[in-house]
Chains A and B, each alone.
Chain A
Amino acid sequence: MPLRTEPITINIGPQHPSTHGVFRLRATFDGEVILDVEPVFGYLHRGSEKLAEERTYTQVITLTDRLDYVSSMINNQAYVLACEKLAGVEAPERGMYLRVIAAELQRIASHLVATGFLINDLGAFATPLMYCFREREKILDLFEMLCGARITVTYMRVGGVFQDAPEDFWPALKTFVKEMPIYLDEYEQLLSENEVLLIRTKGVAILSTETAINGSVSGPVLRSTGYPWDLRKADPYELYDRFDFEIPVGERGDNYDRYKVRISEMRQSIRILEQCMQQIEPGLVKTDVPLLLRPPVGEAYAHVESPKGELGFYVVSDGGVSPYRLKIRAPSFINLTILRELVIGLKLADMIVAFGSIDVNMGEVDR
């Protein structure tokens, strides 16, 4: 006699230890196997795009800090690039270098968070997370030197950065660049060959390049499928055409590749930082753009390679002091849409890991 079974539906989230914010997954299980998942967004919706319409162009920078709060520098960067396009100004070279330095530091910090939480989702009791946060803390210290804040930086301005870096920033950056590869080696020693991690992540939640491209996925998730698409190379903004770096790609697009791509990207970021430190020269850090900017009527779109993927800002100006419309292309939001394809047929535990390996940030998803 066959047993009568029934699928179970569980709401994972909005309050759950591993939803990386407030995110809800309505998942249907057959035992431990996932039959269906349905992501439910919107618990962290703050209406950033609408709020931007009644703030001046400079004040909107503070809003972008809070989109993806683990990579605020890069949000700043994308927004000011869009505004610069709109206003037709260009940042001076030193300003751009400082922006690149800040952005690459932020990329390392964000990848550290992603890696740490991914391993935490795998069930290592917070150890790799703590190690990652140890290094992230050093980056945040550097940010504090640059701009006085650690998370919500408000560092960049339309036309450059608000102020030059202090004297003691450079030696600190040098030490960091020297030490960071050692710590990266440590992570790899702890994680990359750990069999438990390998059998949990290798070959699990495989994403094919076609699916990824069809789903408009970008960033490390796309690169892990073996497709070398990086806006820093594909459409070099700021000074990225001056640096020599590689785009690490994965082989199969499984959880392990996504982890590995992030680790390799951190190494590339360090390479960029080193080159920045060699190339940077004294000079202006900001063109003279008034605090109360009034760009001409028009529209502009600028995109950058954020740690999560292609982050784009589309700004429309009606000639006033605040944007007429601001649209944010949030990579986390778009990457999250492939979660369903990834996890159907997997076990509950793998779904959590797959979700962690996409590395979304709810602040950005819900905006």
Chain B
Amino acid sequence: MPSLLEGNALFRGIYCWLAANEGNSGPGPCGEALRDGLLPVGWEWVAFFAAGLGIVMLLINVFLLLVMLYTYMERRLLGRFQARLGPNRTGPFGLLQPVADAIKLLTKEDLVPAGADRLLFNLAPIAMIVPVLLVLAVLPFGENSFLANINVGILFVVAVTSVNTLAMFMAGWASGNRYAMFGGMRAVAQLVSYEVPVVLSIVGILLYTGSLSMVDIVEAQRIPFILLQPLAFFIFIAGSSAEMNRSPFDLVEAESEIVSGYHTEYSGMKFGLFQLAEFGAVLVTSGVMATLFLKGWEGPVLPSHLWFLIKVFFFAFIMIWVRATLPRLRIDQVMDFAWKFLFPLSLINMFVTAVEVLVWEEPTLVQLWAMVGINLLVAVVGIVAFSFVFKRRGLSPSRVTPPLVVVEGD
């Protein structure tokens, strides 16, 4: 049996059931009875494939169900933050609201504008949702529960999620709508900028763990990294909410300005896919945050999967709270915030962490707590100092003299 997937009981079950393999004997669900699988010798790869498919299907469906739950939760909680009830008509407590939404979206007419680039237009929603699902592959969602524990896990996450930029730009460009194009332009500028501080904030963690694998990162957290790397956490949560277009950085689909940004022209299930990807991204990012900063699945008493879910929804709740409170920034302020505020801070964080790791190579618990103290101090001082600089220097002026644009008609 391929060792890579040994950790997963379900996978092993399917695999053993199908494949006739010497290695089947042994503890676990594949006992003696299953020594002769359904498939002849030499066809194990089919079993491998089928087992993988099965578990991927399961994972994606559970994930999508969670996303539905999350959309419901977001709307209900936003309602409560706004002193109203939120959806409560469909099903008990309105729980079936996401189902009703999905049915509505599925039955809607699928419009493609006349001026659109058909191929790109249809491709964009897919390009949007795939990265979100791909991240699930490396996300350890419980003890020994992951699809793949690849040794570049976090790098994979970073790489895959940046495909979103492309999808948004595709959608914006292909719609042939100027609002959508504004959205696409903003998406490229904003998402690419925020990629930098986010990745740099992760580097601090990697310096401690010395590994890029998500599982290793969880296991290396003797103290949750949210304490050990408070600055990194701040940068990560700010940066990733910018990457997910969450308030206060939701310029890409700023409803009051550019209607709905890059997906203005989408209707029906294509629009649904965008929404799904966006809400999915919140869950996935919360998952990554839980893994990186809050010890992933680890926790006392409760089963590990539950712990993971609790942490995910905790971060999701924070994001909903932020969305309910903050107005939106302007595009130049968003860029300033990334390059003049988050970027230097992430460099500072990286530097301080590197020094610490150099000084204490094998830190004891006491030394770790010392690091917590130092890093908290650095975080507070850094943020305060930078906000002063930021405030005094001021942001870019709100009014720029319009350039003399000469357009020759041609």
Please list the residues of chain A having a beta carbon within 8 angstroms of any beta carbon in chain B: 5-8, 10, 16-18, 30-35, 119-127, 130-131, 134, 190, 194, 196-197, 199-200, 203-205, 344-350, 352
User: In the complex, which residues 313-362 of chain B have their Cβ closer than 8 Å to any Cβ of chain A?
Assistant: 323-333
**B391 to nearest A CB, angstroms?**
9
Which residues on the B side are within 8 Å of A16 (C-beta)? 259
**B315 to nearest A CB, angstroms?**
18
**A248 to nearest B CB, angstroms?**
23
**A334 to nearest B CB, angstroms?**
24
The answer on a CB contact under 8 Å between A17 and B259 is yes
Q: Which of A5, A10, A33, A125 has the most CB of B within 10 A?
A: A125
**A37 to nearest B CB, angstroms?**
12
Known interface pairs A125-B247, A200-B329; 17 further A-B residue pairs with C-beta atoms within 8 A, sorted by A's residue number: A32-B182, A120-B256, A124-B325, A126-B82, A127-B81, A131-B82, A194-B327, A199-B329, A199-B395, A200-B333, A203-B398, A204-B399, A205-B398, A344-B402, A345-B401, A347-B398, A349-B254
Query: In the complex, A347→B395 CA distance in Å?
Result: 14
Which residues on the B side are within 8 Å of A127 (C-beta)? 81-82, 324-325
Which residues on the B side are within 8 Å of A197 (C-beta)? 327
The answer on a CB contact under 8 Å between A346 and B399 is yes
Could you give, for residues 148-188 of chain B, a 1 whenever the CB lies within 8 Å of some chain A CB and a 0 otherwise?
A: 00000000000000000000000000000011011001000
**A244 to nearest B CB, angstroms?**
34
**7 A–B pairs (Cβ distance < 8 Å), ordered by A:** A18-B255, A31-B185, A120-B256, A124-B325, A131-B82, A348-B258, A352-B257
Which residues on the A side are within 8 Å of B327 (C-beta)? 119, 122-124, 194, 196-197, 200
> Interface residues of A: mostly helix, strand, loop or mixed?
mixed
Query: In the complex, A346→B326 CA distance in Å?
Result: 22
Query: In the complex, A17→B259 CA distance in Å?
Result: 6
Which residues on the B side are within 8 Å of A124 (C-beta)? 247, 325-328
Query: In the complex, A341→B257 CA distance in Å?
Result: 19
5 residue pairs, one from A and one from B, having the closest CB atoms: A123-B328, A130-B82, A122-B327, A18-B256, A124-B327
B322 to chain A: closest residue by CB: A125
Query: In the complex, A31→B402 CA distance in Å?
Result: 11
Query: In the complex, A345→B81 CA distance in Å?
Result: 36
Which residues on the A side are within 8 Å of B181 (C-beta)? 8
B330 to chain A: closest residue by CB: A349
Which residues on the B side are within 8 Å of A344 (C-beta)? 402
B329 to chain A: closest residue by CB: A196
User: In the complex, which residues 373-410 of chain B have their Cβ closer than 8 Å to any Cβ of chain A?
Assistant: 395, 398-403, 405, 407
B44 on interface, CB distance cutoff 8 Å: no
Which residues on the A side are within 8 Å of B328 (C-beta)? 122-124, 196, 200, 349
The answer on a CB contact under 8 Å between A123 and B254 is yes
B195 on interface, CB distance cutoff 8 Å: no
A31 to chain B: closest residue by CB: B185
Query: In the complex, A197→B84 CA distance in Å?
Result: 24
A203 to chain B: closest residue by CB: B398
Which residues on the A side are within 8 Å of B182 (C-beta)? 10, 32, 348
B250 on interface, CB distance cutoff 8 Å: yes
The answer on a CB contact under 8 Å between B82 and A8 is no
Query: In the complex, A125→B324 CA distance in Å?
Result: 6
B81 to chain A: closest residue by CB: A127
B407 to chain A: closest residue by CB: A6
B78 on interface, CB distance cutoff 8 Å: yes
B365 on interface, CB distance cutoff 8 Å: no
B84 to chain A: closest residue by CB: A130
The answer on a CB contact under 8 Å between B178 and A17 is no
User: In the complex, which residues 37-93 of chain B have their Cβ closer than 8 Å to any Cβ of chain A?
Assistant: 78, 81-84
**A116 to nearest B CB, angstroms?**
11
Given contacts A203-B398, A346-B398, contact A30 B405 (CB under 8 A): yes
Given contacts A33-B402, A199-B395, A346-B399, contact A125 B323 (CB under 8 A): yes
Query: In the complex, A126→B182 CA distance in Å?
Result: 23
**A46 to nearest B CB, angstroms?**
26
Which residues on the B side are within 8 Å of A10 (C-beta)? 178-179, 182
B287 on interface, CB distance cutoff 8 Å: no
User: In the complex, which residues 246-281 of chain B have their Cβ closer than 8 Å to any Cβ of chain A?
Assistant: 247-248, 250-251, 254-259
**A35 to nearest B CB, angstroms?**
5
The answer on a CB contact under 8 Å between A35 and B178 is no
Query: In the complex, A131→B401 CA distance in Å?
Result: 38
The answer on a CB contact under 8 Å between B323 and A30 is no
**B82 to nearest A CB, angstroms?**
4
Q: Contacting A18 at CB < 8 Å: which of B257, B324, B395?
A: B257
The answer on a CB contact under 8 Å between A350 and B330 is yes
Which residues on the A side are within 8 Å of B395 (C-beta)? 199
A32 to chain B: closest residue by CB: B331
**B171 to nearest A CB, angstroms?**
18
A6 to chain B: closest residue by CB: B407
Which residues on the A side are within 8 Å of B325 (C-beta)? 124, 127, 190
Which residues on the A side are within 8 Å of B398 (C-beta)? 203-205, 346-347, 350
Which residues on the B side are within 8 Å of A346 (C-beta)? 398-399
Which residues on the B side are within 8 Å of A352 (C-beta)? 256-257
Which residues on the B side are within 8 Å of A348 (C-beta)? 182, 257-258
Query: In the complex, A197→B325 CA distance in Å?
Result: 11
**A338 to nearest B CB, angstroms?**
15
Query: In the complex, A349→B400 CA distance in Å?
Result: 14
The answer on a CB contact under 8 Å between B402 and A30 is yes
Which residues on the B side are within 8 Å of A190 (C-beta)? 325
The answer on a CB contact under 8 Å between B78 and A125 is yes
Query: In the complex, A103→B179 CA distance in Å?
Result: 40
Query: In the complex, A179→B319 CA distance in Å?
Result: 31
The answer on a CB contact under 8 Å between B405 and A349 is no
**A232 to nearest B CB, angstroms?**
32
Query: In the complex, A30→B81 CA distance in Å?
Result: 38
Which residues on the A side are within 8 Å of B258 (C-beta)? 348
Which residues on the B side are within 8 Å of A17 (C-beta)? 255-256, 259
Query: In the complex, A345→B328 CA distance in Å?
Result: 20
Q: Which of A17, A34, A197 has the most CB of B within 10 A?
A: A17
The answer on a CB contact under 8 Å between A35 and B400 is no
Query: In the complex, A346→B83 CA distance in Å?
Result: 34
Q: Contacting B399 at CB < 8 Å: which of A121, A123, A345?
A: A345
Q: Contacting B332 at CB < 8 Å: which of A119, A121, A345, A347?
A: A347
**B145 to nearest A CB, angstroms?**
34
Q: Contacting A5 at CB < 8 Å: which of B83, B259, B323, B405?
A: B405
Q: Which of B178, B181, B250, B254 has the most CB of A within 10 A?
A: B254
Which residues on the B side are within 8 Å of A31 (C-beta)? 185
The answer on a CB contact under 8 Å between B247 and A123 is yes
User: In the complex, which residues 231-255 of chain B have their Cβ closer than 8 Å to any Cβ of chain A?
Assistant: 247-248, 250-251, 254-255
Given contacts A30-B405, A131-B82, contact A121 B256 (CB under 8 A): yes
Q: Which of A6, A32, A34, A352 has the most CB of B within 10 A?
A: A32
Q: Which of B179, B259, B330, B405 has the most CB of A within 10 A?
A: B330
Given contacts A10-B179, A196-B248, A199-B395, contact A130 B83 (CB under 8 A): yes
Q: Which of A197, A344, A347 has the most CB of B within 10 A?
A: A347
